């Protein structure tokens, strides 16, 4: 009898100590004016307190779910419908074809909304809120109340489910779950052909365009300022981009369909057709590949190559050698899939090891300028790789110059900004990209820098 009673008491105590897994509560739980729904920025607090207001009014993520019901999404739904596929649906396609409309398909919801299992949803959760607070910050039920109490620390929130986005490597990883993809979140060539944009990303540029609704750690009261955080974030973010792109190559090389054309440069094939005498592609040639073979998309490497050379030249050389070998194997279209997967795996590990080094490195105005000049000095290599690598270099240059000029504008600041704006016009229509024109204007920009 006593033994049974002890078992009962132990069971009750164990149940009392069981911590319920954190649940997703939805953005409404953050929307109070006294929390994150204020209209004006609060400068005396650790957070702006207008985060929800910025997100719901200005941030495209808030409209991500609604986009699943627009005309383009409806057309994609028709094209990707299982009933529209050749019957019977081939095995590799059977898992991808849509059995319902995009706004109800898990394949779409995993990135266009926060779509956790029902067991992880609190009563207040609503998937139609789109890509909301907890998509980035993690399920809030365990820290939602406590994090408002005096003395509660950021570290305590991390211990009960909040994601650590103060670290730029972690932040980029979180963004790239959708902006490059994972096994569960995948934009493949089939989806792009149906109308989905191909994926590209640059942390500093995309953060600025959100628009930014947070204070970096160095901007908070009683913290050490970090005036070059955006350079640090860009540097670490480039390494994370390459690492995660390589992991996608591994998944695709081991998957049912190879080559997966989403890994390649879309605009090598999808570009404006001109008279052969006017073709920049044929004039410049196809370095590193045979004519007709679409190239591997190197946009996640061309900027990292120059950034990393500032911090770890030995790693740069090893990374460049591996990337060149992978480029040849992937672009050949009939490379050995096992060898590609193995080399991509080892190369992703190299890129991953550089993330903390790039995060911890020292950045100042002189180093920022050197990185910009290094990118511009590599213009011929970058621009011949195609529109996406050129665009990545340009986004990075804009982000770097914004930091550089914020510490002291050169006399020709307006001229430099005009030159950057003119370059963006050259990628407004990616299929009309011209390497010679873009390269000439990049070199002109280089001459304007101090």
Query: What are the tens digits of pLDDT across the range 61-119?
Result: 999 999 999 999 999 999 999 888 777 866 766 667 898 999 999 999 999 999 888 88
The whole domain housing 393 covers 165-450
Asked if residue 292 is part of any domain, the answer here is: yes
Q: Is 242 exposed, middle or buried (0-12, 13-18, 19+ CB in 10 A)?
A: buried
Tokens of 443: 């070199």
Tokens of 166: 């103060």
Token look-up 């190299």 returns 350
Q: What confidence tens digit (pLDDT) does each residue in 298-316 have?
A: 999 999 999 999 999 999 9
Q: Dihedral of the CA atoms 241, 245, 250, 255 (nearest 10)?
A: 140
Question: Taking a C-beta distance cutoff of 8 angstroms, is the pair 218, 229 a contact?
Answer: yes
Q: Please tell me the least confidently modeled range out of 85-89, 256-260, 444-448.
A: 85-89
Asked if residue 14 is part of any domain, the answer here is: no
**For residue 94, what pLDDT is reported?**
67
Cβ neighbours for 20, distance < 8 A, ≥ 6 positions apart: 141, 142
Write down the pTM of the prediction.
Answer: 0.91
Measured distance CA(110)–CA(97) in Å, rounded: 15
Q: What average pLDDT does the chain have?
A: 91
Tokens of 84: 């529209």
Q: What confidence tens digit (pLDDT) does each residue in 377-417 have?
A: 999 999 999 999 999 999 999 999 999 999 999 999 999 99
Measured distance CA(372)–CA(393) in Å, rounded: 9
Asked if residue 280 is part of any domain, the answer here is: yes
Asked if residue 436 is part of any domain, the answer here is: yes
- Total domains in the chain come to 1
Measured distance CA(23)–CA(172) in Å, rounded: 23
Asked if residue 399 is part of any domain, the answer here is: yes
Q: Residue 98 — φ and ψ, nearest 5°?
A: -85, 130
Asked if residue 86 is part of any domain, the answer here is: no
DSSP assignment of 165-234 = -SSHHHHHHHHHHHHT--SSS---HHHHHHTPPPP---HHHHHHHS---S--GGGSTTS---TTHHHHHH
Asked if residue 72 is part of any domain, the answer here is: no
Asked if residue 50 is part of any domain, the answer here is: no
């Amino acid at each position: 009898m006593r033994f049974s009673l002890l078992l009962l008491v132990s069971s009750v105590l164990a149940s009392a100590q069981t911590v319920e897994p954190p649940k997703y509560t939805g953005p409404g739980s953050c929307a109070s004016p006294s929390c994150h729904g204020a209209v004006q920025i609060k400068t005396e607090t650790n957070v702006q307190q207008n985060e929800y207001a910025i997100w719901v009014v200005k941030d495209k993520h808030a409209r991500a779910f609604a986009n699943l019901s627009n005309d383009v999404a409806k057309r994609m739904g028709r094209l990707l419908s299982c009933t529209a596929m050749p019957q019977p649906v081939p095995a590799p396609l059977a898992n991808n074809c849509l059995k319902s409309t995009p706004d109800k398909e898990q394949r779409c919801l995993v990135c266009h909304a926060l779509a956790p299992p029902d067991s992880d949803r609190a009563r207040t959760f609503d998937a139609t809120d789109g890509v909301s607070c907890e998509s980035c910050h993690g399920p809030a039920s365990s820290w939602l109340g406590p994090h408002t109490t005096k003395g509660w620390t950021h570290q305590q929130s991390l211990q009960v489910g909040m994601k650590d986005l103060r670290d730029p490597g972690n932040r980029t990883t979180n963004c790239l779950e959708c902006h490059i993809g994972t096994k569960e979140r995948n934009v493949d060539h089939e989806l792009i052909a149906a109308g989905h944009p191909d994926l590209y990303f640059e942390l500093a540029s995309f953060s600025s365009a959100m628009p930014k609704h947070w204070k970096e750690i160095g901007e908070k009261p009683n913290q050490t300022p970090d005036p070059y955080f955006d350079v640090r974030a860009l540097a670490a973010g480039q390494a994370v981009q390459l690492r995660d792109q390589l992991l996608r190559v591994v998944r695709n090389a081991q998957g049912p369909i190879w080559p997966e054309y989403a890994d390649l440069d879309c605009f090598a094939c999808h570009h404006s057709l001109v008279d052969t005498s006017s073709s920049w592609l044929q004039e410049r040639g196809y370095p590193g590949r045979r004519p007709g073979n679409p190239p591997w998309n190197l946009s996640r490497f061309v900027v990292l190559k120059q950034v990393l050379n500032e911090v770890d030249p030995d790693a740069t050389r090893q990374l460049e050698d591996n990337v060149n070998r992978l480029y040849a194997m992937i672009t050949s279209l009939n490379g050995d899939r096992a060898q590609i997967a193995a080399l991509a795996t080892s190369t992703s590990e190299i890129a991953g090891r550089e993330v903390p080094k790039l995060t911890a490195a020292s950045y100042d105005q002189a180093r920022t300028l050197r990185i910009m000049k290094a990118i511009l000095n590599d213009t011929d290599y970058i621009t011949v790789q195609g529109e996406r690598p050129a665009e990545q270099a340009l986004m990075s240059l804009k982000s770097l110059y914004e930091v550089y000029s914020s510490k002291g504008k050169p006399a020709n600041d307006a001229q430099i900004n005009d030159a950057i704006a003119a370059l963006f016009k050259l990628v407004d229509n990616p299929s009309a990209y011209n390497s010679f024109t873009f390269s000439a204007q990049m070199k002109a920009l280089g001459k304007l820098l101090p």
